[in-house]
Amino acid sequence: MKYYHTNTNFLWGVATAANQVEGGWNEDGKGMSIADCLRYRPQIDIRDYKSVNSMDSEEIKRALRDNSTKGWAKRHGVDFYHNYRDDIRQLAETGINTYRFSIAWSRIFPNGDDSKPNKAGLDYYLNLVKELAKYDIEPVVTLSHYEMPLNLVLNYDAWYDRKLISFFEKFADTVIDYLHEYVKYWIPINEIDSIIRHPFSSAGLVEDRFQNKNFSNVIYQSMHHQFVAAARVVQYCHNNYPSMKVGCMVTRTMVYPYNSDPQNVLQASKVMRDVYAFSDIQVRGKYPNFLLKQLEEKNIRLKMESTDEEDLKKGSADFVAFSYYSSVCTAYDVTGLKVTKANRTMGVYNKYLPESDWGWQIDPIGLRLSLIDLYDRYQKPLFIVENGLGAVDELASDGSVHDDYRIDYLSKHIKQMLISLTQDGIELMGYCIWGTTDMISASSNQISKRYGLIYVDLDDEGNGSYKRYKKDSFYWYKKLLSFGSEIPFSFFKTTNVSVEEVSLKIR
């Protein structure tokens, strides 16, 4: 029999973000966060990313007036806050050895500028990592994943304000000190590049609060502050806990030229460079020339302090973490071409690829190409910290969920990853499926865009019992992980693994 091989310490896991699963939005001293201002808005066309990503001061006022959870999907999440022990117990059954989760900043510093942290918040995460330790599950902790205290938006203009660097540092250092005995792997900021696409959820920036300023300038200045803050987290870990590893984290959407017309190839290369800029800064510790040139052309002058360059240099990341869901094409002239979506971005439709229920094109080979490109560019260990399929699932009357489309998606992506690991000479630390249980979608605030291995009985309006049901993909992952570091080629031949067969073998 032929096998794919991984290192024996390969991190196989699952991933979530606090604001998408926890709920408990105002419990035990948690402050209001930007995620608590995001409503499920059924009237918005989910294909229209401008509207999906939009946020204004009126909407925030509305959120402040309404103290309920009804409609504010991220305020209730899937109640992981109360269910974490049970959820972790069930997930551990799959055989995972890692769990990537994020900290709700507003649980630790409810207003972001508080002089002292909220002990109840810190204890919550300490209990969480202790729970993971019971099952030998290695935590990978993201410090900021689309969640920051709302007070920092209202009273400081969010990441545009340089003070945010020290607020974030204080938050990060506090959490790192509290959890250091249990957590080795850290990611300061989720998808740091997303500030360009959705500046509110990524950095708390509300355009109408910057009326006299050029908003692009605001975004890039905030981006710079995030880079400095992230670099200081790297330094803090290295100086105080030398065995810790700190990664940068970017959104990886593979971008192809629409065809071989050199003008389209050039266009694709430009778009990819925009994507690379974010990891270049965090891995190489300095701004790439092409980004500086671009900023100059846009007449954007970043305000930097004398220590910033040194901070970026000293704070370069130990590993490159990324999310991967889909790919798009691009063209220098898109007139008349069919458009498509990727992760909160638009592109030109690729006729060779199928698409998900939400119109994201499914491209497993794009994952392999991403691994090759990123490794060749940086020669740093890579980590796939998000990969998964958002789809409509049906709960059958017997409690089963037959999500063969998700098994198909995961199987094809994991296979490409294993081929890359075997043939491309890359270094890869691990792979996490996006989704433990279902959770609230980051972009559309729907739960019906389900990613989990475990179904949660809840609808987009927030109705349901919150009961959990294992999907077929849960058993499929369990079967995959049962092979350890030697995975037979044959496992990927059929994606329709019968659930009975899997559970029988594993019992």
d(CA 491, CA 341): 31
Residue number with CB closer to ligand BG6 (20 or 370): 20
Shortest Cβ distance from residue 350 to ligand BG6 (Å)? Answer: 19
Q: Six-digit token pair at 25?
A: 């939005």
CB 35 within 8 A of CB 149: no
DSSP 88-149: HHHHHTTT--EEEEE--HHHHSTTSS-SS--HHHHHHHHHHHHHHHHTTPEEEEEEESS--B
Cα–Cα distance between 85 and 97 in angstroms, integer?
Answer: 16
Residue 256 tokens read as 């192809």
Strands 3-5 and 486-488: antiparallel
| DSSP annotation string for 482-502 | HTTTEEEGGGGT-----HHHH
Quote the tokens at residue 494: 């059929």
22 is catalytic: no
Q: Which residues bind ligand BG6 (CB under 6 A)?
A: 17, 20, 146, 190-191, 251, 323, 343, 386, 390, 434, 441-443, 449
Asked if 98 contacts 13 with a C-beta cutoff of 8 angstroms, the reply is: yes
CB of 479 to ligand BG6, least distance (A): 25
Residue 330 vs 356, nearer CB to ligand BG6:
356
Q: How far is the CB of 251 from ligand BG6 (least distance, A)?
A: 5
Tokens at residue 293, please?
């040139």
- State the nearest-atom distance from the C-beta of 51 to ligand BG6, in Å: 14
Q: Shortest approach of ligand BG6 to residue 433 CB, angstroms?
A: 12
Query: Three-state secondary structure along 337-362?
Result: CCEEEECCEEEECCCCCCECCCCEEC
In angstroms, rounded to a whole number, what is the distance separating the alpha carbons of residues 58 and 37? 11
Q: Compare residues 105 and 156 and give the one whose CB is closer to ligand BG6.
A: 105
Contact 77, 117 (CB under 8 A): no
Instruction: Tell me which amino acid residue 241 is.
Output: Y
Q: Cα 385–112–115 angle (5° rounding)? A: 125
* Cβ neighbour number for residue 459 with a 10 Å cutoff: 11
Structure token digits, residue 336: 């008349």
Closest approach of ligand BG6 to the CB of residue 486, in Å:
31
The single-letter DSSP state of residue 391 is: B
| Integer Cα distance of 259 and 7 in angstroms | 38
C-alpha pair distances (Å), 421 with each of 143, 160, 371, 414: 28, 40, 9, 10
The nearest distance, CB 42 to ligand BG6, in angstroms, is 16
Toward ligand BG6, which CB reaches closer, 232 or 450?
450
Say which residue the tokens 């969010």 belong to. 158
Bridge partner residues of 360 (DSSP): 341
Q: Whose Cβ is closer to ligand BG6: residue 152's or residue 440's?
A: 440
Q: Which of 22, 191, 207, 394 is catalytic?
A: 191
Catalytic residue among 22, 131, 147, 386: 386
Q: How far is the CB of 313 from ligand BG6 (least distance, A)?
A: 27
Question: Dihedral angle at the C-alpha atoms of 232, 237, 242, 247, nearest 10 degrees?
Answer: -80
Residue nearest to ligand BG6 (CB): 443
- Closest contact distance (angstroms) between CB of 478 and ligand BG6 is 23
SS3 184: coil
Which two three-digit tokens encode residue 334? Answer: 């898109």
Q: Is 191 a catalytic residue?
A: yes
Region for residue 95 given its phi and psi (left: phi exceeds 0; alpha: psi -120 to 50; beta: otherwise): left
Active site residues: 191, 386
